[in-house]
Amino acid sequence: MQELRAGWGTYNLNWVTGKVVGQGKYATTAVSGGGGGATNSPVTISSSTTIHNDIFLVDSNGKEHSFQLSDFNLACREGNQLTVIWAIRKGKKEGQYIVAINHTTSQQFFGKSCD
């Protein structure tokens, strides 16, 4: 664990490095709209798609870890060496995943938002 000061807060950085032993990827789409009808206002429709990654890592001690990452669109496969890093704001118990590093492919994947 390492401490990081960013913006108005102080965060504890945590990470796990391990070999990918399982992974899955799926997408969800949210659609919303409004307008029209008696108000005679223009009809608007919008959608957003979120990519979800389910990752299972085994660390150097043989312990298995699972991660559910949203909006990373992480590219990995079984056998890749991966590090997942998350930040927990000081005083809180939980935080957000901020980056995943695929050491095998030398790629970095960043979360779209951080609290």
For 11-20, write each residue's pLDDT tens digit. 999 999 999 9
In a domain, 115, yes or no: no
pLDDT band at 115 (very low <50, low <70, confident <90, very high): very low
Region 38-63: what's the mean pLDDT? 91
What is the number of structural domains in the chain? Answer: 1
Residue 53 reports pLDDT greater than 50: yes
| 87 contacts 12 by C-beta, under 8 angstroms | yes
The one-letter amino acid at 73: N
pTM: 0.81
For residue 106, is it left (φ>0), alpha (ψ between -120 and 50) or beta? left
In a domain, 10, yes or no: yes
Contacts of 13 (CB under 8 A, 6+ apart): 1, 2, 3, 4, 85, 86, 87
Residue 34 reports pLDDT greater than 70: yes
Angstrom distance (rounded) from CA 21 to CA 67: 12
In a domain, 16, yes or no: yes
Which residue range is the domain that position 42 belongs to?
2-110
pLDDT of residue 4: 75
